[in-house]
Structure 1
Amino acid sequence: MTDLSRASAPDDGVARRTILAGAAWSIPVIATATVAPAASASGTLALAFNQASYSGTACSTITGAYVTATTDGTPTTGASITVTLSNGYTFAGGSTSATGVSGTDGRYTLPTISVPAVGGSGTVTSSSAGASNSAALSAASAATVSYGYFDSSVVYHGATNIPANSTLGPGALYLTPDGRLVGSSGSTVRSGIASCGPASGGWFAVKNTDGTYGYFDSSVVYHGATNIPANSTLGPGALYLTPDGRLVGSSGSTVRSGIASCGPASGGWFAVKNTDGTYGYFDSSVVYHGATNIPANSTLGPGALYLTPDGRLVGSSGSTVRSGIASCGPASGGWFAVKNTDGTYGYFDSSVVYHGATNIPANSTLGPGALYLTPDGRLVGSSGSTVRSGIASCGPASGGWFAVTNVSTC
């Protein structure tokens, strides 16, 4: 420490200036040595769209979109870029993907994008050599809305005089904005209906606009329900789940206590989660059975099935029916579609036997039974063949019948 103190003394000023000058010259040398390796290790490709989002008009086109490839901020020439579209948006000719090479300015100009009749939100995604980037697509629907239904043979029938903004009820029924449950000809089945529950065996519960409850049988005849507590949830068939966890019948009598939630019915059977975290199911005679070895946080599948957090569809004993299941669709006639964790699709028949589905477009919605609703509004079967185009949404099945909302196609 003594030597250092003397080095900074006033009479050593010349020596100190010499040292500082040497230090000043050494700083750039150190900085250069630090930056140079970073520059030589760079060269990362980046992609960017010219807009964060693109909006269009239904049945029209979006033009002028391009993606720019750069390396360290410098335009990259000759990069092979693949661009994909989602949710019904296509390039001219109907393809959902296109590939091109960036020019001297680093740009790849996209082909014309066709906007579907249903409009909606989509995504345009670019990728090249490990780099990727996305932008949003959007358009309001300009399509004319109408209604229809499919019978148990999957034959389409048009519905008439259904008011705009009606909700799809069970089977071939529609709930109008003014609280009327109407049939496919628009004739009123009953007024004063606020909401419809899921069907089981063709029966379904309803909540009335005055706060009371009731149900319809398989002949679509209304019956009043009594002693149903306010704020009860509509269960499958003519059942109601009370706020205090009781599953009650149409007279308000308790079928079983300690029920937290009910799953969708299939063949009259439906799974339940109990308030203590355990699971069970009811058969078509509304008799309760306990389920065992069902992992916590499992989802209630159709009938007496459960979808575990790790993607296994299991039965009431916890045995695995099939692995790699991401989600289950609504049952119709005991059949239900599934989306697999690898993005493919399939379905289960009424014997709970799995069958693969082919040619189902990505991002399709699971329809009733073994049907799928594609992003471009086609209802397709398990081979990908089109049952009907211009379908916007499907209602819940009852007796194998289900209502649909149609939209005009471009």
Structure 2
Amino acid sequence: MIDSPDAVPRPPRQAGVAPSRRAAIASAVWAVPVVVMVAATPAAAAASGTSLRFSSSSYQAAACDVITGASVEASSGGAAAAGVVVTLQLSGWYTFSDGSTSAVVTTDSSGSAACGEIRVPSSGAAGTLTASAASATPATATLSALPALRLLSSPRGTTAVTDVPAGATPVAGELFLLGATLYRHGVGAVQTAVAAVGALVEAPTRTGSSLLPLRLADGSAVVFDTATNASTPATGTPSGATPVAADLFLSGATLYRGGSAVASDVAEWGQLVEHEQGSGPTGQFELPFRATDGTPRLYRSPADEVRTVASYGQPDAPPSGSTPVAGDLFSSGGTLYRASWDGSNPYGLGAVASGIARWGTLTPNPYYGGQRLLPVRTSGGDAAVFFVSGGSVRTVTQVPSGATPVGADLFLSGTSVYQADVGAVASDVAQCGQPVAAAAGASRVVVPLAAPAATC
């Protein structure tokens, strides 16, 4: 895994548009990533002896994976020492590729010798790596396991999750699910008997909290509030309803909020996000959905109003059968359309991007407030970001072709998460949870990660 990349990411932004001000997947078992921390002080030899040190202050790998790239370096009198015979010793169930716990290497003309592959035990238990040579005090590297769960942030950085058991599945932001229990980073268990979860969204009442709809094992509907770490029954919601987003539930084709039916004929829905009208947030959250007859519609909360998109049937509106994406965005035949509630939109209407094969979660732009990003994969397999306000798409670099868009400027390829124009920022990733703003109104985006199951 890569927890703190050295590269500083280039802020995604629309070309030629100045920022307004500085500033938004299936369960898996978590493996235990391991970090090798190297003692800061190298082996100090006698005046005529040899000094040993390791090539890096840390080496990292997941449980049952291998540490590669480690090397030991020898010097004498400040110069590289060639031909030094170094004995390497492992403890704590760590082994070399042949299963042994010791190895002998000899430094080359540059004074360096590769340590070879070091296999990490399934337990990820603490251990040591030592290097010794004649007339030299042994150098010791400590091997220790990082916490199993991580939060990845954009612009950059990871945080070790606490108070959540290993093996939990990432849900959204700081929330994880293990069995039927919902956990929160730094808090612990916050809800039991959970049978299904929806999407975490800022409360439409704009109280600074975010809401997560839940269906419990008995079929009842509750809404978890991040401000109180408590759930409130959604009284009046039909038993067995599907949690959608925030405080919304779907029963059959009817959408419920606060126990009351607020929309009907719902066949498919997109992402619930706050609507912006050029001058900033409006306090109205829009859920795009496709009706059972194929018409594209918008539901607004907390107003609890529903409309077919303006100008439906005209070129500047999404066509029948369009897939709801997020807010006022729909997709049809690889083209993104921006819809309108009342026939106007400061960001333009109709087709705003073409050649879009897949998209992730729409989030704030982590670098500039007042902008939003939608990571996408083009029909050619390129990773790109769609600037919602500008209606433009920019292909990004340092992301493998075919990568899956996650949220903000993040993409998943294989078991690594890549950041646009930066490269890999986290490895040993089997699953990403829902990306969300770090707090209500914040630009920083947080994604919970799950590592592959350890098998060895």
- The TM-score, its normalising length taken from structure 1, stands at 0.59
**Moved >6 Å (runs of 4+):** none
Mark the CA change 1:350 to 1:311 in structure 2 (over 3 Å): closer, same or farther.
closer
SS at match of 1:235: strand
Corresponding residue number in structure 1 for 2:127: none
What's the C-alpha RMSD, in Å, of the aligned pairs?
Answer: 3.0
Structure with the higher fraction of residues in strand conformation = 2
Among residues 369, 376, 379, which one is paired with 2:408 in the alignment?
369
Give the CA deviation at 1:242.
Answer: 1.2
Give the CA deviation at 1:187.
Answer: 1.2
Corresponding residue number in structure 1 for 2:281: none
Corresponding residue number in structure 2 for 1:127: none
Corresponding residue number in structure 1 for 2:394: 355
Among residues 139, 146, 149, which one is paired with 1:147 in the alignment?
149
Q: Larger C-alpha radius of gyration, 1 or 2?
A: 1
SS at match of 2:273: coil
Among residues 237, 249, 252, which one is paired with 1:240 in the alignment?
249
Among residues 384, 397, 400, which one is paired with 2:435 in the alignment?
397
Corresponding residue number in structure 1 for 2:357: 326
Mark the CA change 1:271 to 1:154 in structure 2 (over 3 Å): closer, same or farther.
farther
Instruction: Return the letter of the residue paired with 2:248.
Output: L
Mark the CA change 1:226 to 1:305 in structure 2 (over 3 Å): closer, same or farther.
same
* CA distance in structure 2 between the partners assigned to 1:359 and 1:312 by the alignment: 25
> Aligned pair 1:263/2:270, yes or no?
yes
Give the CA deviation at 1:300.
Answer: 1.5
Q: Is the 8 Å Cα contact of residues 383 and 403 (structure 2) preserved in structure 1?
A: no
Instruction: Return the letter of the residue paired with 2:177.
Output: L
Give the CA deviation at 1:401.
Answer: 2.7
Aligned pair count? 268
Write out aligned runs for 1:243-322 (5 A). 243=252, 245-250=253-258, 252-267=259-274, 268-283=285-300, 285=302, 286-291=304-309, 292-293=312-313, 294-308=318-332, 310-316=333-339, 319-322=350-353
* CA distance in structure 2 between the partners assigned to 1:221 and 1:150 by the alignment: 25
Give the CA deviation at 1:204.
Answer: 1.7
- The TM-score, its normalising length taken from structure 2, stands at 0.53
Once the two structures are overlaid, the 10-residue window that deviates more, 194-203 or 285-294, is: 285-294
Corresponding residue number in structure 2 for 1:194: 195
Corresponding residue number in structure 2 for 1:16: none
* CA distance in structure 2 between the partners assigned to 1:145 and 1:303 by the alignment: 36
Give the CA deviation at 1:274.
Answer: 1.1
Mark the CA change 1:307 to 1:221 in structure 2 (over 3 Å): closer, same or farther.
same
* CA distance in structure 1 between the partners assigned to 2:294 and 2:432 by the alignment: 32
Q: Is the 8 Å Cα contact of residues 357 and 384 (structure 1) preserved in structure 2?
A: no
* CA distance in structure 1 between the partners assigned to 2:158 and 2:286 by the alignment: 27
Q: Is the 8 Å Cα contact of residues 196 and 242 (structure 2) preserved in structure 1?
A: no
Unaligned runs of 5+ in 2: 1-63, 67-116, 121-144, 203-209, 275-284, 341-348, 365-371, 438-444
Corresponding residue number in structure 2 for 1:80: none
Unaligned runs of 5+ in 1: 1-57, 61-113, 118-142
**Higher RCO (CA-CA < 8 Å; seq separation 6+):** 2
Give the CA deviation at 1:260.
Answer: 1.9
Mark the CA change 1:408 to 1:361 in structure 2 (over 3 Å): closer, same or farther.
farther
